[in-house]
Structure 1
Amino acid sequence: MHAPQRSTRPVDAQLYVEVLQFYARQMPLLEERRLEEFLETMTEDGSIEHVPNGWRIEGRKALLTEMRARRGDPDRPLVGEMSARQARADEVAYYDGIVYRYWFDRMRIEPQSDDVLQVGYQAMVSMTDAAGKVSFEPTTTVQDVLVRQDGEWYTRSRRVTHDSPNWADKIHNPS
């Protein structure tokens, strides 16, 4: 059972739009597999964690190594029916042959200070193959910590909590 959502104090429209624009700039970089540019939107020591039963990777260098190994190329053949966990074990580019999109909703912004925000939202990933077949990853909630440095927002940490405890064992793009 999930804990009830605590109330979030309102943020002004300017801050809300700044955060929306940050994600509108950040996530297409990942979708387009512009990994170095995507990671420049994170702090040098930034981390991404997948729970439950997942993994945590810290630092731009380690994240780049992991993303290069998994993100694949949409113009290559589909990897076939494989789970994220199996792809990691077999060193397979999980997203070969797939165009993926990230969809965010119900964003809650909680300022911790003038330069630190906690941003929570629900997220979904759609995957489209060359034939036009669309499939989805299990839904998630995401908790980001954003920090402002030199007037720009960066992700310090991203914790992705999957709604299914067996999310990493779901067969990728099933036939």
Structure 2
Amino acid sequence: MAGQTVTAELYAEVQHFYARQMQALDSRVFKTYADSFTEDGTFRHTPGTEPARTRAGIEAELVRFHEQYQGDPVQKRHYFNQIVLDANPDGTLKSTVYALVLRTRPGADRPEVWPSCVVHDVLVTGADGILVKSRDIDYDQQI
């Protein structure tokens, strides 16, 4: 297998980081989500589009994107699993994650899975904890 393994402790820290980050996103606390990126971070959530850049740009993109759900009582839950975490020679971490997004509406018989994705992150660690330097998301249905 490629990549340099990381400690179990670091792996657990990354899992905890992702849990907090996804709960902020699902709660629509976009500033908290954007603050989980480096100041110069990039975030491309829709294949074929230009990434949002900087924390302020990421927050603004999330606000813009979620405007389509105004008046829609949809609740989204992002599930990250199958995390592959490798140390890069420059000290960053390469993270590849399978992600499912469940959408639920009041009165629905069951949630729907939309979309199924692969998330490609570059993570940095430091005094501010773990931060995302770049995130690039691919949707399985567009492969």
**Partner SS for 2:135:** strand
User: Identity percentage over the alignment?
Assistant: 27
Superposed, which structure 2 residues align to 1:2-151 within 5 Å? Answer: 6-50=1-45, 52-72=47-67, 92-93=68-69, 96-113=72-89, 115-132=91-108, 133-151=110-128
Whether the aligned pair in 2 keeps the contact of 1:48 and 1:57 (CA below 8 Å) is: yes
How far does the alpha carbon of each residue in 1:33-65 deviate from its partner, in whole angstroms, 9 at most, with x for none? 111111111111111114643442111122211
Superposed, which structure 2 residues align to 1:146-165 within 5 Å? Answer: 146-165=123-142
Q: Partners of 1:37 and 1:45 in 2: how far apart?
A: 15
Q: Partners of 1:162 and 1:100 in 2: how far apart?
A: 16
Alignment RMSD, CA only? 2.3
Q: Call closer, same or farther: CA 1:165–1:94 in 2, change over 3 Å.
A: farther
Aligned to 1:89: none
One-letter amino acid matched to 1:149: G
Q: Partners of 1:98 and 1:19 in 2: how far apart?
A: 28
Whether the aligned pair in 2 keeps the contact of 1:71 and 1:96 (CA below 8 Å) is: no
Gaps of 5+ in 2: none
Q: Partners of 2:23 and 2:48 in 1: how far apart?
A: 27
Q: Call closer, same or farther: CA 1:51–1:26 in 2, change over 3 Å.
A: closer
Q: Bigger radius of gyration, 1 or 2? A: 1
Q: Partners of 1:57 and 1:114 in 2: how far apart?
A: 24
Q: Partners of 1:156 and 1:17 in 2: how far apart?
A: 19
Higher strand share: 2
TM-score normalised over the length of structure 2: 0.86
Deviation at 1:116, TM superposition (A): 1.2
TM-score normalised over the length of structure 1: 0.72
Q: Partners of 2:47 and 2:59 in 1: how far apart?
A: 22
Q: Call closer, same or farther: CA 1:30–1:51 in 2, change over 3 Å.
A: closer
